[in-house]
Amino acid sequence: MRDIVLALFKCGKITEAEQEIANAKRTTKYMLELLFDDKNCNNYEWSEYKFKQGENYFVLDVNTGAVHVVDELVYDILDDDKLKNKKDILNDLKGKYDEEELSEAYDEIQELAEEGILYSEDQYEEIAHQSMDDRDYIKAICLNVIHGCNLRCKYCFAEEGEYHGRRALMSYEVGKKALDFLIANSGSRHNLEVDFFGGEPLMNWQVVKDLVAYGREQEKLHDKNFRFTLTTNGVLLNDEIMEFCNKEMANVVLSIDGRKEVHDKMRPFRNGKGSYDLIVPKFQKFAELRHQDKYYVRGTFTHYNTDFAADVLHLADLGFKQISVEPVVAPPTEDYAIREEDLPVIFEQYDILAREMIKREKEGRGFNFFHFMIDLTGGPCVYKRLSGCGSGTEYLAVTPWGDFYPCHQFVGQEDFCLGNVYEGVKKTETVNEFKKCNVYSKKECSQCFARFYCSGGCAANSYNFTGKINDVYEIGCKMQQKRIECALMIKAALAED
């Protein structure tokens, strides 16, 4: 028997029968069980996606999440949408492979298809629409505690933190109202999330501390648990703030773009001076105080540093273990915007980074890169994989004066103002439009192998590039697809050991 499936990641618990089938047809180095946390793991249409990454050949059964690492013969037999006729396969490949080997491999593939491990169908569409209709609670808010910033980052979507409007500080009273609204509209949910954002939230630090204290009081009264997070550029970071965050913040995001020359070019002070030298020692200390966990150094790469793998590795060499460096999202009119012609270089950089991460992990000096972190043993529930972040439905952003927006990237676009902390959500028709956003409401997503990994992408990016929240940002899609391929390669390479 051929070693067809070297790795099988399955949606739902693997049954004893499926385990026996898999064992009979392969020598496996590892098996991980859950891709979706959902017992009703059914089926639909466009089925297989195959690709070569590094030295491995991969086949992803899109609808079950089963990932197969195969040899070249099996790779050549398999097609993306359906299993071809055996006679045609033998005829097409007889010059490359032994006919007996081809026949044996084909028969085993056919058995796997009959068992639903390959070429499975997809029946998630009905679940997707039902889950959106039932979503009548809020579980997370982003508090823009300040519209203003002490840096002048050139790519800032919030225009120096002012969001196309005026500089402002959130008052304690407005923040309390926002937390009260979250509690009152969270239904039976126990765990609630609050992100302190800006601008630069440390410029309104006392209000942040006061709101955390208020939240801790209220969670006891209402049987809730607040998960507070903070995003900061680090300029005002000090020992007192670090100590408070290490006690109260479940996660902190530390903004740094990588190499000094890259960071200082895009993230200067208003006087043009770079901020790298000021923040790096603080961030290194903060990361160590958090035991290299529950934080991210988060950077942005642009058209000017498409060699961004060097920035990721620079951050790793500084000692950071939790790293995210993301592509800028900007109109094509901006000189720093990612362009279609940048993609070949960007794809090569992801390959370089993936190979280096494998090497460093095997040497005992590995680190996490956010965009390569695919959890094949658990991960988000099926509803989250179908609908994404929940912007405009489960998640809202709050301005300093208390207005609600679908997320922080919509703040300042008045057509998307949903209500406020005093009157609640008023623009229900807009909320209903966000409820309709899922991987089946977008043609491109419904036909994409990555749909259950990216969950349909970002509504704000879609709107900014197409004028619709229910469309796709094509350049972003292509980068996401490449990252998934690299992530699966890393999983396979490390599993070999």
Tell me which of 74-88, 326-340, 342-356 is least confident: 74-88
User: Considering the chain, what is the average pLDDT of its residues?
Assistant: 86
The amino acid at residue 175 is G
Output the pTM of the full model. Answer: 0.88
What's the pLDDT tens digit per position in 261-273? 999 999 999 999 9
CA distances from 39 to 13, 71, 96, 129 (A): 8, 31, 42, 18
**Are the C-beta atoms of 231 and 274 separated by less than 8 Å?**
no
Element (H, E) at 242: helix 239-248
What's the pLDDT tens digit per position in 190-202? 999 999 999 999 9
> Going by C-beta distance under 8 Å and a sequence separation of 6 or more, which residues neighbour residue 406?
391, 392, 395, 396, 397, 416, 418, 430, 434, 459, 460
| pLDDT at 380 (0 to 100) | 62
Structure tokens given for 293: 């966990």
What's the pLDDT tens digit per position in 295-310? 999 999 999 999 999 9
Element (H, E) at 254: strand 249-255
Cα–Cα distance, 281 to 288 (Å, whole number):
11
**Are the C-beta atoms of 47 and 62 separated by less than 8 Å?**
yes
Percent of the chain beyond pLDDT 90? Answer: 63
Q: How many of the other CB atoms lie within 10 Å of CB of 224?
A: 17
pLDDT of 42 above 70: no
Between 61 and 383, the higher pLDDT residue: 61
Tell me which of 164-178, 213-227, 257-271, 309-323 is least confident: 164-178
